[in-house]
Amino acid sequence: MKIISYNVNGIRAALRKGFLDWLQIANPDVICIQETKANKDQVDVEAIEKAGYPYHYWFSANKKGYSGVAIFSKHKPNHVEYGTGIDYMDFEGRNIRVDFDSVSIMSLYLPSGTNLARLEHKFTFMADFQKYIDTLKKEIPNLVICGDYNICHQAIDIHDPVRNKNVSGFLPVEREWLDNFMKRGFIDSFRFFNQEPHNYTWWSYRANARNNNKGWRIDYNLVSETLKENLKRAVILPEAKHSDHCPLLVELEFPQ
């Protein structure tokens, strides 16, 4: 099973930039989208279905043109869970999950801490999300949480760790939370296969950052430790340029 996570920074803009042509070439079984910035009725879903994804599920924010997550799948899931049941998370359309026989796949868009108020909101979200996942894992042990976490885990995951040490996304408290989250039962699938530096998933639009590869790795496919033996490969796909983020892929292998 090939799974891709992609913060598209606006699905309608990505579609205009050739997203569906790219998707057909990448050919994942499931793609988790973040920051759709659209409701389902604002998108050409027929084109998505023609591209090979007849099953598409959308969870948009109450506020128009903001946040939002979606999952497109080649295969029909057993169940779709819209949101977490935590109201302030769900108002912003930050979580959707599809359940299959062997694995459940979640698309997550964790808030950024763009100012002091949003940073406090992010910390509250992080704490509540940890509790939510701790409970969920008891029911669904085989979980893949794909998404934009808006946090760099380690110094290797950011182009300038020294000058960014006091910037949200690389604050010690954020990094500690992500570290503890992983230690409570998840594998960073990319780092499971690749320990090389200079691998990023987001670049600022300023100062030619992407061409100079001055980026941050803030997007992850976190895989339950119960699926460790099923991990086949995990890669970042920086050649896809429909967004300020790029997609990342994890492939799981299940016995027939």
116-139 vs 172-183: helix crossing angle, rounded to 10: 0
Distance CA 148, CA 245 (A): 9
Domain ranges for the chain: 2-252
Active-site residue 148, yes or no? yes
List Cβ neighbours of 201 (8 Å cut-off, separation of 6 or more): 215, 216, 217, 218, 219, 236, 238, 245, 246, 248
Q: What is the pLDDT of residue 38?
A: 98
The answer to whether the beta carbons of residues 56 and 80 sit under 8 Å apart is no
- Residues 57-76: tens digit of each pLDDT: 999 999 999 999 999 999 99
pLDDT of 229 over the 90 cut: yes
The predicted model gives 5-23 an average pLDDT of: 98
- Residues 94-150: tens digit of each pLDDT: 999 999 999 999 999 999 998 999 999 999 999 999 999 999 999 999 999 999 999
SS3 sequence of 141-207 = CCEEEEEECCCCCCHHHECCCCCCCCCCCCCHHHHHHHHHHHHCCEEEHHHHHCCCCCCCCEECCCC
- Residues 200-212: tens digit of each pLDDT: 999 999 999 999 9
| pLDDT band, very low/low/confident/very high, at 241 (cuts 50, 70, 90) | very high
Place of tokens 């808006």: 150
Percent of all residues in the chain with a pLDDT value above 70, rounded to a whole number: 100
- Nearest partner of 1 among 23, 31, 28, 32, judged by Cα: 28
pLDDT of 256 over the 90 cut: no
| pLDDT band, very low/low/confident/very high, at 52 (cuts 50, 70, 90) | very high
Q: Point out the catalytic residue in the list 29, 148, 157, 219.
A: 148
Q: Would the pTM of this model clear 0.85, i.e. be above it?
A: yes
Mean pLDDT of the chain: 97
Query: What is the CATH topology of the domain spanning 2-252?
Result: Deoxyribonuclease I; Chain A (3.60.10)
